[in-house]
Structure 1
Amino acid sequence: MAPNLSGYHRALDLFEDMVGGVPGDRWSAPSPCPEWTARDVTGHVIAGQYAILALATGRPAPDAPCRPGVFAADDALQAWRTARKECDAALTPEALRRPIPFGTLGEVPLIDFLGASVLEPLVHSWDLARATGQPARLDPGLVHHAFATAQVVAAGLRRDGRLGPALTPPRGADEQTRLLAFLGRAAEPAATRPAD
């Protein structure tokens, strides 16, 4: 694993932990993402791995179904692990140098895109946690990184209708709560961590 991909891999590890912690009877539970269940959220992030695989290899991305849960049908954890393994195998040094389109920034190397891709699995880890009753405390370092990314990409996502309006966070909210509010998610402030 390249050192500058450590945050990306930590975000994927967190998401995998959340998928593995979903009780069997909670896959159809509604998530904070409108009209999506826990399975849909999981399928969406799985589809994201296949989209990155397509960027790495130059092959077409899979068609996006109207219900992303099809990517997580049956054994969602195994479907996630398969997608992640295939994507990881494609992230060769050559692939990581491949220029890819990145919105208004033009083209960036895939490795830089992956650095910004922490946002997606991180926030959907929270969505999955909320949908399935799991603890929703996120890695503060990843939250800080993801918030910086969100401020760059949110306007385009809102313009495309893929992200709702920002909410006003509670006074004194921690960074996780402010990030979630910026992304249109209402959340109670995360528990304060004891001082180290």
Structure 2
Amino acid sequence: MMIIDVREAYHRALEDFGALVHRIGPEQWDSPTPCVDWDVRDLVNHVVGENLWAPELLGGRAVAEIGDAFEGDLLGDDPIKAFDTSAVAAMQATGGAGSLTRVVHLSFGDVSGREYVTELFADALIHTWDLARAIGADERLDPELVEACTVWFSGAGNGYRPAGAGAERQGTSSEADAQADLLASWGRQA
């Protein structure tokens, strides 16, 4: 059970990610991230791709119909503008009440719009930490969003991990806070 409205949680997480995108220095785009094999540009490109998928999938199209439209470099010469444009489209697509009741046709099967938006939220939240770590920004995530993601992922994680959502859970100390524990559940070492 999500503590806050999942659409609000997603929009807040995406806004937090976007604030960091706007802080990326020209020399940081090729910096490594906690995501194996991804530098900062790859990470932002991934989130832009997720953003571009949202209107299509919530609009009723299937992954097979869209094909490889969102493969490759989606950032072009202006990565910040590419992110901003994609974020607006994703927030518009996920903002209405109907977005939660739609059936979304993903590559592994159909899910509710609520489940899909929750996946988008979790992805944006965890990648916010990844980007903060990569560019040396404040790594503290919004505690309310951490709690909401923890509640969802504690029930859904075992189903998503085999599909590639997060790496193997990392160990934490007994003093680990909620954020460190959530990140560990996604395979991150805070």
Q: What's the counterpart of residue 131 of structure 2?
A: 128
Once the two structures are superposed, residues 76-116 of structure 1 have per-residue CA deviations (whole angstroms, 9 ceiling, x without a partner) of 211011112223344455444322257999632x2453244
Runs of 4+ with >4 A deviation: 91-96, 101-106
Q: Secondary structure at the match of 2:138?
A: coil
Q: TM-score, normalised by structure 1?
A: 0.80
User: Is residue 155 of structure 1 aligned with residue 158 of structure 2?
Assistant: yes
Q: What's the counterpart of residue 181 of structure 1?
A: 184
Number of residue-to-residue matches in the alignment? 181
User: Is residue 97 of structure 1 aligned with residue 98 of structure 2?
Assistant: no
CA deviation after TM superposition for structure 1 residue 153, in Å: 3.3
**Highest RCO, 1 vs 2 (Cα 8 Å, sep ≥ 6):** 2
Report the RMSD for the aligned CA atoms in angstroms: 2.6
Q: What's the counterpart of residue 39 of structure 2?
A: 37
Q: TM-score, normalised by structure 2?
A: 0.83
User: Is residue 146 of structure 1 aligned with residue 176 of structure 2?
Assistant: no
Change over 3 Å in CA distance of 1:166–1:90 after alignment to 2 = closer
Once the two structures are superposed, residues 131-175 of structure 1 have per-residue CA deviations (whole angstroms, 9 ceiling, x without a partner) of 111111100000011112222332233323453210111221100
Q: What's the counterpart of residue 21 of structure 2?
A: 19
Once the two structures are superposed, residues 6-53 of structure 1 have per-residue CA deviations (whole angstroms, 9 ceiling, x without a partner) of 211111110110111111110000100000001111111111111211
Q: What's the counterpart of residue 111 of structure 2?
A: 107
Q: Percent identity?
A: 30
Change over 3 Å in CA distance of 1:73–1:171 after alignment to 2 = farther
User: Gaps spanning 5+ residues in structure 1: where?
Assistant: 188-196
